[in-house]
Structure 1
Amino acid sequence: MSFAAPPRRAGWIDRPDARIRYEVTGEGPAIVFAHGLGGNLMTWWQQVAHFAPRYTCVAFSHRGFFPSTAPAEGPDPQHYAADLAALVDELGLGDVRIVCQSMGGWTGVEYALMRPGRVKALVLGATTGSLDPRQMREPERARLDPWKQESAAARAALVARGVNPAAGGRMAEEQPALYHLYQHIFGLNHGFDREAVRAKLDAHRRRAPADLAAAQCPVLFVPPEEDIVLPPFAAAAMARDIPGARVAPLLKAGHSAQFERAREFNALVDAFFAEVGA
């Protein structure tokens, strides 16, 4: 057998009020992976395995998410982009590609705006980040309030069945072993109020879609068809206001599509990178 594992190392960066855990796997141009509210750096295991033979894959845990630390009052998303900037600088990554899911979209969007022209490609999976769906175009904007009511009912129905809405019923039913792993990773994040973080995310979601043009980077939205956590139809509406933005829906997938449909998700990211020369 001729297989050689990509090089891997792990470490910490110290912030004024938190410690951030990261892992670096592989060699080549850098991809940074920013996880969602239900994950941590382990969430990206299927992406790291796929991209590490060709890229330097950097997975990290946001402040407060296992095993990173946070202040006693818990993690605040307003610090996420600065934490990422500190990590990029510490590792000497320079220009990066950023792949985000859900909450990680706040990190990716704000970092890209903090350092315009420094992000080679931005992937927003199941998220619009800090871009506000209430400011998207019609007719999608008119769908938002009915969708909120329907999605709240769908989430409540899953919870009543003991299913994590962030994973979704399809993953639980069709891939029970994968769902079991998802729940283990989800359960590692404790010691803070998850709903308080969700409220802070909503408070920071105030940007108009057109604001992202200032980041000067190619953008790919990957909305999962069956997302009941964030509105999947928002991506297409917002993309029309972001020069060069692309939308690649992922069918038969819930909110954590990068976990549930990793092969399809990775293929979309590969194609996007190839298209924009990243």
Structure 2
Amino acid sequence: MESAGCRIAYKVRGDGPPVIFIQGVGVHGDGWSPQVDTLSSRYRCLTFDNRGLGQSQSAVGALSIEQMASDALAILDALEWKTAHVVGHSMGGAIALQLALAARARVRSLSLLCTFANGRDATRLSLGMIWTGLRTRIGTRRMRRRAFLEIIMPPAALAGVDRDALAERMVPYFGRDLADQPPIVMKQLGALSRFDATPRLGELEGLPTLIVSAAHDRISPPVIGRRFYTAIPGARFVEMADAAHGVPIHDADRINALLLDHFQRADGV
């Protein structure tokens, strides 16, 4: 499917009410496999590669959250889906938020996982996070993989495990070796840093909105999720203990249960 000069690759699986899943920085659509594997028994699950990543490759030029939200809407149009439950993680949450603000009538419910209304929050990092981030780009490939795991996994999930084997198991979700960063990542981070929907959050009053934060998330700590909770009247906030930024993967069962409950509430089931 074409959208503003980029051929967007997407997949649809399952049957039932439609759900669109939107991924974050440097992650392709198959990163949602732990959700699709479970929820596709009840829902039509749409995943896709954001422009410039995976199979959605093009000379993207300038990149923005607004353009990526337009890409998501273009897929809904191509599928002739009038409405869908919208789920976004990290940068994908910012895209989901923009989609809801731009086309609220298309959104049955909104789920924002470990994300930001103001993308600059993602770049205001602590010294510890800066050091961990640097370690994902320098050193041996094994060192870079292990540093990346520290960002996406909580300490308890890394205690006493074979981290090399764990990094290998992550490859299908990220579409790459954890030691590597796709070229588009810096443009995605730049697009995120320019996005700020904070002044408009009140416009989402009445839209069924679930906000999930993870207690050990170094990128989007729970204080950011609580800001959503107070700024979107009627939103529901859940803070997950023993979870980190990669919670849709490392604790898929809990995330899936939260999403299923949220979808059913929104649909009046």
TM-score (norm 1): 0.80
What residue number does 1:212 align with? 201
Question: SS at the partner of 2:85?
Answer: strand
Pair 1:28-2:6 in alignment: no
Is the CA contact 2:109–2:208 (under 8 Å) kept in the aligned structure 1? Answer: yes
Q: Which amino acid aligns with 1:82?
A: S
What residue number does 2:190 align with? 199
Q: Which amino acid aligns with 1:197?
A: Q
| Unaligned runs of at least 5 residues, structure 2 | none
Structure 1 window deviating more from structure 2 (192-201 vs 115-124): it is: 192-201
**Correspondent of 1:221 among 187, 206, 211:** 211
| Unaligned runs of at least 5 residues, structure 1 | 1-12, 135-143
Structural RMSD (CA): 2.8
Question: SS at the partner of 1:223?
Answer: strand
**CA distances 1:211-258 after superposition (whole Å, capped 9, x unpaired):** 223245211111111111223221112211211111111221221110
**Correspondent of 2:127 among 149, 167, 170:** 149
How far does residue 72 in structure 1 lie from its aligned partner after superposition?
Answer: 5.0
**Correspondent of 1:167 among 134, 138, 152:** 152
Q: Which amino acid aligns with 1:263?
A: D
How far does residue 187 in structure 1 lie from its aligned partner after superposition?
Answer: 1.9
**Correspondent of 1:180 among 164, 168, 173:** 168
For residues 73 and 181 of structure 1, what CA distance do their matches in structure 2 show? 33
CA gap of 1:32–1:130, structure 2 versus 1, over 3 A, is farther
How far does residue 54 in structure 1 lie from its aligned partner after superposition?
Answer: 0.6
Equivalent residues in 2 for 1:249-260, closer than 5 Å? 249-260=239-250
Identity %: 23
CA gap of 1:172–1:182, structure 2 versus 1, over 3 A, is farther
Structure 1 window deviating more from structure 2 (264-273 vs 107-116): it is: 264-273
Equivalent residues in 2 for 1:1-278, closer than 5 Å? 13-73=1-61, 75-130=63-118, 148-156=126-134, 161-162=143-144, 163=146, 164=148, 165-168=150-153, 170=155, 171-173=157-159, 174=161, 176=163, 177-183=165-171, 185-187=174-176, 192-204=183-195, 206-208=196-198, 211-215=200-204, 216-277=206-267
For residues 180 and 198 of structure 1, what CA distance do their matches in structure 2 show? 25
TM-score (norm 2): 0.83
How far does residue 108 in structure 1 lie from its aligned partner after superposition?
Answer: 0.3
Kindly tell me the number of residue pairs found equivalent between the two proteins.
Answer: 254
CA gap of 1:74–1:51, structure 2 versus 1, over 3 A, is same
How far does residue 65 in structure 1 lie from its aligned partner after superposition?
Answer: 1.3
